[in-house]
Amino acid sequence: MKYSKVLLKLSGESLGGDNGRGLDEKVLGRYAKEISTIVESGVGVAIVIGGGNIFRGLSGTSKGFDRVRGDQMGMLATVINSIALSISLKLNGVESEVFTSTPMEPFGRYYVRDRALDVMNKGGVAIIAGGTGNPYFTTDSASALRAAELGVSVLLKGTRVDGVYDSDPEKDELAIKYKTLTYDKALADNLKIMDMTAFALCRENKIPIVVFDMNCSGNLLKLIKGEDIGTLISQ
Q: Which DSSP category does 57 fall into?
A: H
Query: pLDDT tens-digit profile of 104-131?
Result: 999 999 999 999 999 999 999 999 999 9
Q: What is the pTM of this model?
A: 0.95
Asked if 88 and 141 count as a contact pair (C-beta separation under 8 A), the reply is no
d(CA 203, CA 188): 14
Mean pLDDT of 196-205: 93
pLDDT over 80 at 162, yes or no:
yes
Cβ neighbours for 200, distance < 8 A, ≥ 6 positions apart:
none
d(CA 213, CA 165): 13
The hierarchical CATH code for the domain 5-234 is 3.40.1160.10
d(CA 8, CA 77): 18
